[in-house]
Structure 1
Amino acid sequence: MNIKQANLNDVLDVARLALVLWPHHSMHAMALKISETIQENKGAYFLALDKNETIGFAQVNLRHDYVEGTHSSPVGYLEGIFVVENYRQQGGAKQLLAACEKWAREQGCEELASDCELSSEESLNFHRCVGFEEANRIICFTKPLKGESY
């Protein structure tokens, strides 16, 4: 298995895997976002490859706003990491994470942060196993702004 930084030729491979992780997007919207991120150097995508097959990806961005539990800025932010089920437990996610960490250090970051859904035990366990420490737990709310005010 090897890791490479994605370029514009890899957009559809990244998008295909990203849609497994974030299924509420369209292929078009996902590919557009990935292309924009790569072209404007807003972040980086890394691919895990087994021979010529793309079997995983990770996305890292820079966050300049406050990131829960951090003490510096910018912060490298692991936006997502995914490995196809048949290839899990083989070190691919750790290699993808290492590429993200290296990229963040090269951008001047002193910290890497991430998040996961409270219900995602698999993601929570991964983060803990690779050295992330829990900073906080929050519950997010929304309220439509129609009708009465309270």
Structure 2
Amino acid sequence: MNKVPMTVVGEQRLRDELEHLKSEARPNVIAAIAEAREHGDLKENAEYHAAREQQGFIEGRIQEIEGKLSNAQVIDVTKLPKTGKVIFGVTVELINLETDEEVTYRIVGEDEADIKAGQISVTSPIARALIGKEEGEVVLVRTPGGDVEYEIGKVEHL
């Protein structure tokens, strides 16, 4: 199976969530199921069914996180060489050539992507178009809304 790139921070977030699910959420839902069982008839017990559904979500998320961590290729972006090129983990400032609007993105792993926080997935169309390019280059990004040309204004390595 292919390894999925992830930053050290992204890996720690997943490990923290996994720890929370295993140490707090799972025991809480088990207790809720036990309490709901004491209320009698399980066929018409909404609390029991809700707790069982919640347990399914928790167990599914635990499996999902464990799978992601097992396939993660954790990259410490602070130890990457500063080449001036756009690579995983860099922050890149882009200038839309049509509107002169400036945007800044950090290229991170899929699970860390948060467009509102300025973090885009390494597999996103923008990141794929930028990887390997340098400051000053013009990049054509194919988006569902049409093609957009960006100039790479600045590449910052951490």
- Give yes or no for TM over 0.5: no
Higher alpha-carbon Rg: 2
Normalised by the length of structure 1, the TM-score is 0.23
Q: Which has the higher contact order (CA 8 A, sep 6+)?
A: 2
Normalised by the length of structure 2, the TM-score is 0.22
